[in-house]
Amino acid sequence: MAYLQNKWSEHARQASPARRYASQREFEADWIYSLRRRYRVSQEALAVMANVSVTTVQNWENPRSAKAIAEHNQARLRDIERDLWIKAHVTLLDPCPPYIQALYDLMSASKDDSARALADYLVASLPADDAGRARLLHWASLTHSIGEPGSARARSLSEAALDALTGADTQLSAAIENEILGSQFEDLLQLPAGESRTRQGASLMRACERLFQRDAQPAYLWNALEVACRAPLESRDVFRLVQVLVDVQGVAHVSHRIRNEARFEAARQVLESSATRN
């Protein structure tokens, strides 16, 4: 079965999809547009990646276009999506342990079963107090996410990675923390609204708060607030984080950012609602 045909079949089997489409062609057009938007790729850039003309990409994104997307182009789109996903989630930080390099090589070669098997073996073998365990858990979650986004195994590994973030005050540990948090935030934004997205958002918010408690860096609190806004989590979580930020940075600075940055729209609404009630 062609790649987008398979994606359409998966969508059609959902009991409560986030969006309903009038036809497979409409679904395909939205899928390609969403792919570009998700990874910030222009039509021109996608045309180069797929080795087609810009007009062809425009036709792909036109739900009224009667021309079907050829199977070989669907295969290219599958490979492009995978490459973009890896670039968005994966960073080979130095020093890079051999087992991390091995996982990267397997994922890049589309050997997902081998990557998952190696990751699961390493997770079972690496001591719980090993300094590299958080990084390994993160990579193990990637091997499961790339083949089955939002799977229970991927979620459990990502949550374990966040829980295992160490307090080592080194440049590498900070870089690994940022890699894990950034990757988990990207995955969060791709999850449909529902229990899984709420649960992962709450876990990520708590991880950011723990890092703030450890390092007292306001950036972690802003990260936690963005997660709470975009998951979205309950209004009380948003309000609580805003209050902590006000205590740390002052009401003028916090209010200015919330008013002017679109990612904090939910926080602005919560504050306006609170002001109205008061």
pLDDT tens profile 126-144:
998 888 888 899 999 999 9
Domains: count for the chain: 3
| Mean pLDDT, residues 78-87 | 92
Taking the C-alpha atoms of residue 23 and residue 14, their distance in angstroms, rounded to an integer, is 15
- Can you give the residue range of the structural domain that contains 144? 90-190
Half-sphere exposure (Cβ direction) of 116: Cα atoms closer than 13 Å: 13
Q: Which of 228, 191, 231 minimizes the C-alpha distance to 208?
A: 228
Q: Please report which confidence band the pLDDT of residue 210 belongs to, taking 50, 70 and 90 as the band edges.
A: confident
Write down the pLDDT at residue 166: 64
Residue 120 CA to residue 114 CA, distance in Å, equals 10
Residue in the block written with tokens 């709420």: 198
Same domain, yes or no: 249 and 174: no
In this structure, the answer to whether residues 232 and 262 fall within a common structural domain is: yes
Residues 114 and 68 in one domain: no
Whether residue 12 sits in one domain with residue 77:
yes
**Listed residues 167, 190, 213: the one ending a domain:** 190
The predicted model gives 115-120 an average pLDDT of 96
Which of the listed residues 175, 190, 205 is the one where a domain comes to its end? Answer: 190
How wide is the angle at C-alpha 52 spanned by C-alphas 49 and 55, nearest 5°? 120
pLDDT above 70: residue 258: yes
- Record the tokens describing residue 137, joined without a space: 């858990």
Q: Please say if the pLDDT value at position 239 is more than 80.
A: yes
Asked if residue 153 and residue 215 are part of one domain, the reply reads no
Q: Same structural domain for residues 77 and 98?
A: no
What pLDDT, on a 0 to 100 scale, did the predictor assign at position 189? 83
Is the bond preceding residue 149 a cis peptide, omega within 30 degrees? Answer: no
Are 97 and 182 members of one domain? Answer: yes
For residues 24, 25, 28, 30, the Cα torsion angle rounded to the nearest 10 degrees is -110
pTM above 0.75, yes or no: no
Report the distance separating Cα 181 and Cα 221, nearest Å.
13
- Indicate the SS3 state at residue 270: helix
Residue 7 CA to residue 277 CA, distance in Å, equals 46
130 and 113 together in one domain: yes
pLDDT tens per residue, range 163-191: 887 666 667 777 778 788 888 888 888 77
User: 33 with 111, same domain?
Assistant: no
User: Among the three residues 27, 62, 86, which one is the final residue of a domain in this structure?
Assistant: 86
| 201 contacts: CB under 8 Å, gap ≥ 6 | 188, 227, 228, 230, 231, 232, 233
